[in-house]
Chains A and B, each alone.
Chain A
Amino acid sequence: GQNIDQPTEMTATEGAIVQINCTYQTSGFNGLFWYQQHAGEAPTFLSYNVLDGLEEKGRFSSFLSRSKGYSYLLLKELQMKDSASYLCACPGAAGNKLTFGGGTRVLVKP
């Protein structure tokens, strides 16, 4: 089975940095995804990590440590439009279906 944990809510100020942590336990590891979901909309892909280390993509970066079963999503220079839920997800052992964590709601304040 799979178990994916992330905080339920975080609040940050516009222009600041926020780090969203995700810990996972999977029977077989096939990478880790981060998705962004605005209220009432479908999730959109942010990042994919399969090797250890930091992947930077503009204001968003994602980190993975396979030995620790840990990942984080780093959002820099926060903007109001970044207020959304951020979902950590792992594929199953066969690499097919994607299991999501509970999601972290990020509220960006002025």
Chain B
Amino acid sequence: GAVVSQHPSRVICKSGTSVKIECRSLDFQATTMFWYRQFPKQSLMLMATSNEGSKATYEQGVEKDKFLINHASLTLSTLTVTSAHPEDSSFYICSARDPSGIATGELFFGEGSRLTVL
């Protein structure tokens, strides 16, 4: 099946610094990738849709200047949390749709990145 790889799996940073998380589709090309955030004991909340070659589409309430998304190629999307604060501490998960998936909506998820901001 399709594989999506995310890096780093865990990151700890100081408040005010920026953190970059990478998401790669390993055996397929993904024109669209999705970034989700998940707080403890809560479900996945879609933050933004990353589009290769164009600007990302952000969900309501998500600050585009704080969460910078770059979809540089058909296999790589990056999420940069700028000027991170403790309230940004969360589990960030990327996902992509493999065109050969069983349905138009099926997503393959990366391993997730746990961000802790001190």
State the A residues within 8 Å of B (CB).
30-31, 33, 40-45, 48, 50, 85, 87, 89-91, 95-103, 105
Q: Are A31 and B111 in contact (CB under 8 A)?
A: no
In this complex, the member of B41, B95, B114 whose beta carbon has the largest number of chain A beta carbons within 10 angstroms is: B41
Residues of A within 8 A of B41 (CB): 105
1/0 per position for B43-69, CB-CB distance to A under 8 A? 111100100000000000000000000
Q: How large is the interface on B (under 10, 10 to 19, 20 to 34, 35 or more residues)?
A: 20 to 34
Which A residue sits closest to B44, measured CB to CB?
Answer: A100
The B70-118 residues at the A interface (CB cut-off 8 A) are 91, 93, 95, 102-112, 114
Q: Which of B34, B46, B112 contacts A42 (CB 8 A)?
A: B112
State the B residues within 8 Å of A (CB).
32, 34, 41-46, 49, 91, 93, 95, 102-112, 114
Q: Are A91 and B111 in contact (CB under 8 A)?
A: no
Closest-CB distance, A33 to chain B (whole angstroms)? 6
Closest-CB distance, B39 to chain A (whole angstroms)? 12
Q: Are B93 and A42 in contact (CB under 8 A)?
A: yes
Q: Are B104 and A43 in contact (CB under 8 A)?
A: no
Which A residue sits closest to B41, measured CB to CB?
Answer: A105
Q: Are B34 and A98 in contact (CB under 8 A)?
A: yes
Q: Are A95 and B34 in contact (CB under 8 A)?
A: no
A42 touching B110 in the complex, CB below 8 Å, given contacts A30-B104, A91-B104: yes
